[in-house]
Amino acid sequence: MDASGKTTIRLGLLHVVALLSAFCAGQGQSPEQVQVEVLDDVTSFTVVGPSGLLKLIPQDHKVAVAPGEYKLAQWEMTKLNAQKIAWTVVARVTSLPPVLKAVSGQSNEWNLGTSRKFNAKVDLMRSRDYILAGNPRLEGPNREKVQLSWSGKGQPPLPKLLIENADKTYKQQLTFSYG
């Protein structure tokens, strides 16, 4: 209470966000949740939906979300190799994200479109005497921008590139070198 007898309440930004979230979710009531089975073997994924940006971590391939339509923004997958070193793939969807639906009273399955096969993209530039390759990158099946990292010490194993045509009549594996 100040000198004039008025009570002033000061709220921090987190309090305001919490109050707005409660208001948007039905004045403090829990929104209905729908169980969704995630068909992909992801560690986590992020979607944009009716209540904003959500980072979801599947438990036994299941997540709970409010009913509605969601667009995939990012997914992450971590796997151990034979030497027990964790490799992590992070893919950010940059164009045409898959639309995922969660409907009340129905069985809901989401296929995020993750794959263990990625496209290696390289921009080729021609000069008079040479062909120069630049801007190497990995791209996922939904045109995701893909980053690959590992938890090991020192230098990772030499990267390999598998080249094959659509009908699999041509297949060649190349090994890169460092330096």
Give the confidence band of 62 by pLDDT, cuts at 50, 70, 90.
very high
Within-domain flag for 27:
yes
If you average pLDDT over residues 81-92, what whole number do you get? 85
Domain assignment of residue 147, yes or no: yes
Q: Where residue 36 falls among pLDDT bands split at 50, 70, 90?
A: very high
**Is 1 domain-assigned?**
no
pLDDT at 16 over 70: no
One-letter amino acid of 92: R
Burial 140-172 (b: 16+ CB within 10 A, else e): bebebbbeeeeeeeeeeeeeeeeeeeeeeeeee
Is residue 102 within 8 A of residue 108, CB to CB? The reply is yes
- 91: pLDDT strictly greater than 80: yes
pLDDT of residue 115: 64
> Given pLDDT bands bounded at 50, 70 and 90, which one contains residue 155?
confident
54 lies in some domain: yes
Identify whether 2 is part of a domain. Answer: no
For residue 163, tell me if it sits in a domain.
yes
**pLDDT at 14 (0 to 100):** 40
Question: Above 60 in pLDDT, residue 8?
Answer: no
Residue 88 is assigned to a structural domain of this protein = yes
140 near 91, Cβ under 8 Å?
Answer: yes
- Overall domain count for the chain: 1
Domain span at 56: 13-175
Does residue 8 sit within a domain? Answer: no
In terms of phi and psi (left: phi > 0; alpha: psi -120 to 50; beta: otherwise), the region of 96 is left
Least confident stretch, 19-23, 79-83, 112-116, 142-146: 19-23
